[in-house]
Amino acid sequence: MEERGVVIGKGPGIARVRIERSESCEGCHGCLYSEAGKFMVTEAIDKIGALPGDVVRIDTVGAAPLKAALLLFVLPLVMLFAGYGVGSAMAQPLGIPPGSPGLDIAVAALFFFGSFGLLYLYTRRKSGARADRSTIIEILGRQQDTSG
Protein backbone atom coordinates (compact mmCIF):
# COMPACT_ATOMS: atom_id res chain seq x y z
CA MET A 1 0.00 0.00 0.00
CA GLU A 2 1.33 3.45 -0.88
CA GLU A 3 0.66 6.59 1.13
CA ARG A 4 1.88 10.18 1.27
CA GLY A 5 3.25 11.71 4.40
CA VAL A 6 5.50 14.41 5.83
CA VAL A 7 8.84 13.63 7.46
CA ILE A 8 8.75 14.99 11.02
CA GLY A 9 11.90 13.43 12.42
CA LYS A 10 15.11 11.78 11.31
CA GLY A 11 17.41 9.06 12.60
CA PRO A 12 20.17 6.96 11.07
CA GLY A 13 18.48 5.23 8.11
CA ILE A 14 15.01 5.85 9.57
CA ALA A 15 12.55 8.71 9.25
CA ARG A 16 9.44 9.41 11.33
CA VAL A 17 6.62 10.16 8.91
CA ARG A 18 3.23 11.69 9.71
CA ILE A 19 0.56 10.16 7.49
CA GLU A 20 -2.79 11.90 7.18
CA ARG A 21 -5.85 9.64 7.25
CA SER A 22 -7.09 8.88 3.75
CA GLU A 23 -9.75 6.65 2.23
CA SER A 24 -7.19 4.05 1.14
CA CYS A 25 -6.38 3.21 4.76
CA GLU A 26 -10.02 2.65 5.72
CA GLY A 27 -9.59 -0.79 7.32
CA CYS A 28 -6.31 -0.11 9.14
CA HIS A 29 -7.60 1.80 12.21
CA GLY A 30 -4.02 2.80 13.12
CA CYS A 31 -5.06 6.46 13.18
CA LEU A 32 -7.61 5.83 15.91
CA TYR A 33 -4.80 5.55 18.44
CA SER A 34 -3.37 9.02 17.79
CA GLU A 35 -4.52 12.59 18.36
CA ALA A 36 -8.10 13.07 17.19
CA GLY A 37 -7.85 10.04 14.90
CA LYS A 38 -6.84 12.08 11.86
CA PHE A 39 -3.25 10.93 11.35
CA MET A 40 -0.64 8.43 12.47
CA VAL A 41 3.11 8.55 12.84
CA THR A 42 5.21 5.67 11.55
CA GLU A 43 8.88 4.88 11.27
CA ALA A 44 9.97 4.30 7.69
CA ILE A 45 13.23 3.03 6.27
CA ASP A 46 14.94 5.95 4.54
CA LYS A 47 17.53 5.02 1.93
CA ILE A 48 17.10 8.17 -0.18
CA GLY A 49 17.92 10.84 2.39
CA ALA A 50 14.62 12.56 3.17
CA LEU A 51 14.80 15.54 5.52
CA PRO A 52 12.27 16.86 8.04
CA GLY A 53 9.58 18.79 6.16
CA ASP A 54 9.85 16.68 2.98
CA VAL A 55 6.64 15.30 1.54
CA VAL A 56 7.33 11.67 0.74
CA ARG A 57 5.63 8.66 -0.78
CA ILE A 58 5.98 5.54 1.33
CA ASP A 59 5.27 1.91 0.58
CA THR A 60 4.04 -0.45 3.28
CA VAL A 61 3.99 -4.17 2.77
CA GLY A 62 1.95 -5.90 5.46
CA ALA A 63 1.43 -9.53 6.28
CA ALA A 64 -0.64 -11.55 3.86
CA PRO A 65 -4.11 -12.03 5.40
CA LEU A 66 -4.44 -15.62 4.17
CA LYS A 67 -1.09 -16.62 5.65
CA ALA A 68 -1.97 -14.99 8.96
CA ALA A 69 -5.35 -16.75 9.07
CA LEU A 70 -3.75 -20.10 8.30
CA LEU A 71 -1.19 -19.64 11.05
CA LEU A 72 -3.72 -18.48 13.60
CA PHE A 73 -6.51 -20.99 12.97
CA VAL A 74 -5.12 -24.01 11.13
CA LEU A 75 -1.87 -24.53 13.05
CA PRO A 76 -3.57 -25.03 16.45
CA LEU A 77 -6.06 -27.49 14.91
CA VAL A 78 -3.31 -29.45 13.19
CA MET A 79 -1.35 -29.54 16.43
CA LEU A 80 -4.48 -30.70 18.32
CA PHE A 81 -4.97 -33.69 16.01
CA ALA A 82 -1.24 -34.44 15.92
CA GLY A 83 -1.20 -34.45 19.72
CA TYR A 84 -4.13 -36.84 19.82
CA GLY A 85 -2.28 -39.16 17.42
CA VAL A 86 0.92 -39.00 19.45
CA GLY A 87 -1.04 -39.66 22.66
CA SER A 88 -2.73 -42.68 21.07
CA ALA A 89 0.61 -44.05 19.88
CA MET A 90 2.17 -43.58 23.33
CA ALA A 91 -0.68 -45.28 25.24
CA GLN A 92 0.10 -48.91 24.48
CA PRO A 93 3.88 -48.77 25.14
CA LEU A 94 3.15 -47.07 28.47
CA GLY A 95 0.74 -49.85 29.47
CA ILE A 96 -2.43 -47.78 29.29
CA PRO A 97 -5.40 -49.90 28.19
CA PRO A 98 -6.73 -49.30 24.64
CA GLY A 99 -9.80 -47.07 24.47
CA SER A 100 -8.75 -45.08 27.52
CA PRO A 101 -8.82 -41.46 26.29
CA GLY A 102 -6.90 -39.88 29.19
CA LEU A 103 -3.42 -39.74 27.66
CA ASP A 104 -4.77 -38.94 24.18
CA ILE A 105 -6.63 -35.88 25.40
CA ALA A 106 -3.81 -34.72 27.67
CA VAL A 107 -1.21 -34.84 24.88
CA ALA A 108 -3.67 -33.23 22.43
CA ALA A 109 -4.23 -30.36 24.87
CA LEU A 110 -0.47 -30.01 25.41
CA PHE A 111 0.15 -29.79 21.64
CA PHE A 112 -2.79 -27.40 21.17
CA PHE A 113 -1.61 -24.93 23.81
CA GLY A 114 1.99 -25.43 22.69
CA SER A 115 0.99 -24.21 19.23
CA PHE A 116 0.21 -20.79 20.70
CA GLY A 117 3.70 -20.70 22.16
CA LEU A 118 5.05 -21.46 18.69
CA LEU A 119 2.93 -18.66 17.22
CA TYR A 120 4.24 -16.27 19.87
CA LEU A 121 7.84 -17.16 19.07
CA TYR A 122 7.18 -16.88 15.33
CA THR A 123 5.57 -13.42 15.57
CA ARG A 124 8.29 -12.21 17.92
CA ARG A 125 10.97 -13.30 15.45
CA LYS A 126 9.11 -11.73 12.53
CA SER A 127 8.62 -8.42 14.34
CA GLY A 128 12.33 -8.32 15.11
CA ALA A 129 13.05 -8.68 11.38
CA ARG A 130 10.81 -5.68 10.63
CA ALA A 131 9.50 -7.37 7.50
CA ASP A 132 6.45 -5.12 7.34
CA ARG A 133 8.08 -1.74 7.99
CA SER A 134 7.30 1.13 5.64
CA THR A 135 9.92 2.34 3.16
CA ILE A 136 10.30 5.82 1.66
CA ILE A 137 10.31 5.37 -2.11
CA GLU A 138 10.16 8.95 -3.38
CA ILE A 139 10.53 12.55 -2.20
CA LEU A 140 7.65 14.57 -3.67
CA GLY A 141 8.78 18.00 -2.48
CA ARG A 142 8.83 20.23 0.58
CA GLN A 143 5.85 20.97 2.79
CA GLN A 144 4.59 24.52 2.38
CA ASP A 145 4.94 26.53 5.60
CA THR A 146 1.44 27.72 6.50
CA SER A 147 2.36 29.44 9.76
CA GLY A 148 2.46 33.18 10.05
Do 86 and 137 fall within a single domain? Answer: no
pLDDT at 148: 46
Average confidence (pLDDT) over 50-73: 78
Quick: pLDDT tens for 14-56: 888 888 766 655 555 555 555 556 777 778 888 888 888 888 8
**Nearest alpha carbon to residue 9 among 21, 18, 1, 22:** 18
Does 71 have pLDDT greater than 90?
no
Range of the domain at 113: 65-129
Judge whether 147 lies within some domain.
Answer: no
Do 11 and 22 fall within a single domain? Answer: yes
User: Could you give the number of structural domains in the chain?
Assistant: 2
CA 48 to chain centre: 25
Do 114 and 82 fall within a single domain? Answer: yes
Do 10 and 58 fall within a single domain? Answer: yes
Average confidence (pLDDT) over 5-19: 84
Do 76 and 124 fall within a single domain? Answer: yes
Quick: pLDDT tens for 90-136: 888 888 877 777 888 999 999 999 999 998 888 777 765 554 577 77
Give pTM, 2 decimals: 0.49
Do 52 and 69 fall within a single domain? Answer: no
Judge whether 72 lies within some domain.
Answer: yes
Do 124 and 137 fall within a single domain? Answer: no
Do 42 and 74 fall within a single domain? Answer: no
Do 42 and 77 fall within a single domain? Answer: no
Do 69 and 124 fall within a single domain? Answer: yes
